[in-house]
Structure 1
Amino acid sequence: MLKVLLITYYWPPAGGPGVQRWLKFVKYFKDFGIEPIVYIPENPTYPLIDESLASEVPAEITILKQPIFEPYRLAEVFSKKSSKTISKGIIAKKEKQSLIQKLLLYIRGNFFIPDARKFWIKPSVKFLQKYISEANIDTIITTGPPHSVHLIGKELKEKLNLKWIADFRDPWTTIGYHDKLKLTKRSIKKHKQLEQEVLTSVDHITVTSYTTKEEFLEITNKPVSVITNGYDTEKVSEVKLDSEFTISHIGSLLSGRNPEKLWQVLYDLTQENDEFAKAFRLRLVGAVSEDVLFSINEAGLSGFLDNKGYVSHKEAIEIQHSSQVLLLVEIDKPETKCIIPGKLFEYMVSKRPILAIGPKDADISRLIRETNSGYFFEYSEESEMKSVILSYFKEFQEGKLIAKTERIEKYSRRTLTKEMSLVLKNLKKKSHRPK
């Protein structure tokens, strides 16, 4: 059994997609000869909580904890609401930001590089250096964001000559919200420097998208593997399909994920088609920015909106299975074409048709096309959106609306864990660390 140490900030009871990737790897690692030890913060400030995920943590694994200093707690002195929304990644448009929000964003962007969890680096290195030596561990994994976690890996690599995998659930300097952090030129330069140091000192890099792999290969000659997120074989209670024509979005809808032309298309359909107006519901599940809610209201859709807020992962899965159509929205910027949300794979396995909107050449369009799980549109393709929504509605009326999804088995969490295990075992074979 190969022992590996996973260093992660997000872990149950944290909610949201950030926790699920490595929770699922850890769940299946022992099936492939990997014994994981998990290192997490003792007192984190998680923006979302989902107690139900704790039941998926294998009882036999070792979990290590050390305290972390969280600046977001200090920020709450100035504005509890602003600090919480920023920590969730919900950033209002520039013209709608209050003075406090602008100040907090500037401080977050320029005083906490690479992120607000930077104060966990030194105590973690000190604690783990001793533990790793005593436990005879020679392979570590860091997963970010937060990218401070990768700096823990970098220091441990330098001190102990470990084999190290850096896993990027999202990119670093090309992430969509970086331009909202009011970064100075000096701060941008520091981010790029730290990113390069991590990418060139690590032994192997894993990423969740094809575009991120291409970006990283321009910076480093270290091997980069695409291991996407995926779906698990969830035990879903028997759920009936909604009697209404529900178009549901599961997950956060940040300010940038605001498809105003889709809202207009949906409103037009309610005005042009009485049967559509009687049956249609727009369901949002998860954190939704005020900008998005304002746009929906301005489009005339408030009477059709069912805004459920954050729900447990279990309930979210049930809603996916009962919805008529599943909506996926990515920010309309070139730098977000690399984002493949974890919910895409859960959408696929729910067998409900997907309506996806994003930037040109987005990686999600490739996956949707390969699996025949729905349709992808660029933001400007409103006439095409309208045509597909009408075709979905017609099938709904006939009781025939279902996704014809295929070739998704390679995205099961167990299959993906096998891929990650092979990366770890190949590293072990190449290890020449003196005993």
Structure 2
Amino acid sequence: MLVSDEHDDAAGPKGGDRRVLLIAFHFPPDASSTGRLRTLAFARHLRARRWKPWVLAPAPRVYERLDTQGLEDIPADVHVQRSQALDARRHLGWRGRYLSATAIPDRWISWYPSAVRAGLRLIRRQRIDALWSTYPIATTHLVGASLARLSGLPWIADFRDPVVPAGTSAQKRAMRAMERWTIKRADRIVFTTPGARSRYAERFPDAANRMHVIANGFEGETVATVPSPSRGAGGPVKLVHSGLLYREGRNPVPFFEAIARLREASVITPDTLEVVLRASGHEAAYAEELARLGIDDIVTLAPPVGYREALAEQAGAHGLLLFQGGEFNAQIPAKVFEYLRIGRPVIALTPPDSDTAELLRTTGGALRAPIDDAEEIAAVLRDFMIRLDGDDMPEIDAKALSGYTRKAGAMKLAGLLDELTGIER
């Protein structure tokens, strides 16, 4: 990995490759979002199609959580340009309170001027051929839009999530304006699920022919190097979830109630079932629920760990948990692909009409129940325990899963870049 700050003016040979500037807020050593893995995968695999990536990202101090081990995953020949940024809540506030005017459209708008300045310098000195930016940090698309307008270069806008305005009325208006401007100006618009693309095509029919889908996928090399810890004979069945859980859309309380029902029915005990919720957030509130239901000796609220440690924990589990309510029907959490690649059975708490449910019907390897129905969740958990004892778990369709590698996604992105720059392969 080659790293520079916004004052560096290093240049490299042009050669026969084309150059793309990947503009991403989430990038190693950030540990706050799995979105960093999407950009990292593009930076790793685009070179196979003769696209040399440069990455424009903020200086690490802006990140709330760091995983410095993640820096090792950045290929040695990928140049990362860092520019200064502040978090309005952490750097411009007091005890978590800050002026909303410093966070329009988001808390990281301070990155905008240094990112545009650094991006223009890169475009000029490195002879960049195309731009790519990725949301859900709105400032990132503002940077991409400004660089496209000032340079005249083609721009691909990537939406890892649909835009859901939140905050003050001014912040909501700014988010909607960013969304409209991006859809209008971007040369190609990429979504991670068919459902998200369909919803945007309905809202912006004039832009539908510029909309594409590139799924998140999994990094085969990264997951394949994670050892599978021994689970020990006779121990409890271990279920794991890694990542945030919150009341709206990813509420674990019905799952807790299902565990409590099974315990009351003597189906499970702490000796037969262990549930680990890793880095779930809102631990204090969930701890109260677990104590109220009398299952705090079965469900553990565990702290964050590094990416590799999280993968190793998942590989050592008997089953992996997924929480996704109807609010997120048009999204597929990035962790789903890694769950499937690891090869452990998935207990998916999601509606039957979600994009996630459709993916799991295609790939196999999962049992499903609605996230808000404790009775059905309890039935699925009981079924899981029976199937595990009988070695009768649903199998993953390896052929179907093979189409969801991050390398395959990078090749789709390379095709769009070729198209925009007039390259015929």
Q: Aligned to 2:217, which of 227, 230, 251?
A: 230
* Cα shift at 1:392: 1.2
After superposition, the Cα gap between the structure-2 partners of 1:367 and 1:425, relative to the gap in structure 1 and judged at 3 Å, is same
1:242-296 Cα distance to aligned partner (Å, 9 max, x none): 6311121111223432232221111111121255553011111124213333323
**1:40 maps to which residue?**
57
TM-score, normalising length from structure 2?
0.87
Please say if 1:23 is aligned against 2:10: no
1:259 to 247, 252, 276: 252
Q: How does 1:236-315 map to 2 (within 5 A)?
A: 236-241=226-231, 243-256=235-248, 257-273=250-266, 276-289=269-282, 290-315=284-309
SS at match of 1:4: strand
| Cα offsets for 1:175-221 (capped at 9, x unmatched) | xxx2xx3x22x543332122101111000011112222122222253
Partner amino acid, structure 2, of 1:361: D
Give the match for residue 58 of structure 1. Answer: 75
- Name the CA distance, whole Å, in 1 between partners of 2:163 and 2:362: 27
In the other structure, the counterpart of 1:95 is: none
Contact persistence 1:142–1:166 (CA under 8 A): yes
1:10 aligns with 2:26: yes
Q: Deviations over 1:93-132 (max 9, x none)?
A: xxxxxxxxxx65xx44x65222111122223223322331
Contact 2:320 2:345 in 1 (8 A): yes
RMSD: 2.2
1:126-205 superposed matches below 5 A? 126-173=117-164, 178=166, 181=167, 183-184=168-169, 186-205=170-189
Secondary structure of the residue aligned to 2:369 is strand
The answer on 1:408 being equivalent to 2:401 is yes
Aligned to 2:380: 388
Percent sequence identity over aligned pairs: 22
Q: C-alpha offsets along residues 228-249 of structure 1, whole Å, 9 cap, x if unaligned?
A: 1111122011422463111211
Higher mean alpha-carbon deviation, 293-302 vs 311-320, is at 293-302
Q: Do the aligned partners of 2:45 and 2:410 also contact (CA within 8 Å) in 1?
A: yes
Q: Secondary structure at the match of 2:245?
A: coil
Report how many residues are paired.
395
Q: 1:294 to 1:10 in 2, by over 3 A?
A: same
Give the drift of 1:415: 1.6
Match of 1:120 among 102, 111, 118: 111
Match of 1:426 in 2: 419
**1:67 counterpart residue number:** 84
* Contact 1:271 1:277 (8 Å CA) reproduced: no
Q: Secondary structure at the match of 1:302?
A: coil
Judge which range, 257-266 or 127-136, deviates more.
127-136
Q: 1:122–1:389: structure 2 CA closer, same or farther, 3 Å change rule?
A: same
Work out whether residues 141 and 153 of structure 1, in 8 Å CA contact, stay in contact via their aligned partners in 2: yes
Q: Which residue of 2 aligns with 1:90?
A: none
The answer to which of 294-303 and 141-150 deviates more is 294-303
Of 371, 374, 387, which aligns to 1:379?
A: 371
Contact 2:365–2:393 (Cα < 8 Å) also in 1: no
Q: CA deviation at 1:360?
A: 6.0
Determine the structure 2 residue equivalent to 1:216: 200
Deviation digits for residues 17-54 of structure 1, max 9, x if unmatched? 02111111111121222110111112442122212211
Q: Which amino acid aligns with 1:202?
A: A
Listed as ranges, the gaps of 5+ residues in structure 1 are 84-102
Query: Given that residues 207 and 228 in structure 1 are in contact (C-alpha distance below 8 angstroms), is that contact kept between their aligned partners in structure 2?
Result: yes
Aligned to 1:87: none
CA contact (8 A) 1:11 1:19 kept: yes
Taking the aligned partners of 1:220 and 1:130, their CA distance within structure 2 comes to: 35
1:292-344 Cα shifts (integer Å, max 9, x gaps) = 333233222111122221011111111111111111112x353x222211110
Which residue number corresponds to residue 363 of structure 1?
A: 355
Q: Secondary structure at the match of 2:206?
A: coil
In the other structure, the counterpart of 1:324 is: 318
Is there any run of 5+ residues in structure 2 with no aligned partner, and where?
Answer: 1-16
| CA offsets 1:350-400 (integer angstroms, 9 cap, x no match) | 2211111235622111111111121232234333322221121123334x1
Match of 2:14 in 1: none
